[in-house]
Amino acid sequence: MTFLGISGMQYSGETLGHSRILLAEDSNVFTSMIGMRLKELFDIDVEICRNFEDLQLAYDRSTDPITLAISNINLPGAENGEALEYLIDLSIPTIVFTGTFHQETRDKLLTKDIVDYILKDNVFAVEMLAESVCRFLTNHRHHVLIVDDSPTARALLSSRLKRYNFRVSTAENGAKALELLKANKDISLVITDYNMPDIDGFELTRRIRSVRGSHELRIIGVSSSSDRHLSARFLKAGGNDFMLRPFIDEEFYCRVNQNLDTLIQIRSMRSVRGIGDVKNVA
Using the predicted structure, report yes or no on whether residue 281 has a pLDDT greater than 50: no
Instruction: Place 57 in a pLDDT band, splitting at 50, 70 and 90.
Output: very high
2-46 residue pLDDT tens: 888 888 898 888 889 999 999 999 999 999 999 999 999 999 999
Give residue-wise pLDDT tens across range 198-216. Answer: 899 999 999 999 999 999 9
What pLDDT does residue 122 have? 86
Position 275 scores a pLDDT of 54
Task: Give the integer Cα–Cα distance in Å for 190 and 56.
Answer: 40
Please give the pLDDT value at position 12.
85
Phi and psi torsions of 62, nearest 5°: -135, 140
Does residue 156 carry a pLDDT above 90? yes
pLDDT at 274: 63
Q: Both ends of the chain: CA-CA distance in Å?
A: 27
3-state class (DSSP) for residue 87: helix
Q: Which pLDDT score, from 0 to 100, does residue 102 have?
A: 85
DSSP assigned state of 75? B
* pLDDT at residue 278, as a whole number: 45
pTM: 0.92
Phi, psi of 132 (to 5 degrees): -60, -40
Mean pLDDT calculated for residue range 126-132: 97
pLDDT of residue 10: 87
Write out the E strands in the chain.
2-4, 10-12, 21-24, 47-49, 68-71, 94-98, 116-119, 143-147, 167-171, 187-193, 218-223, 241-244
Q: Determine the residue type at 145.
A: L
What pLDDT is attached to residue 279? 46
* Per-residue confidence (pLDDT) for residue 282, from 0 to 100: 46
For 125-151, letters b (16+ CB in 10 Å) and e give bbbbbbbbbbbbbbbeebbbbbbbeee
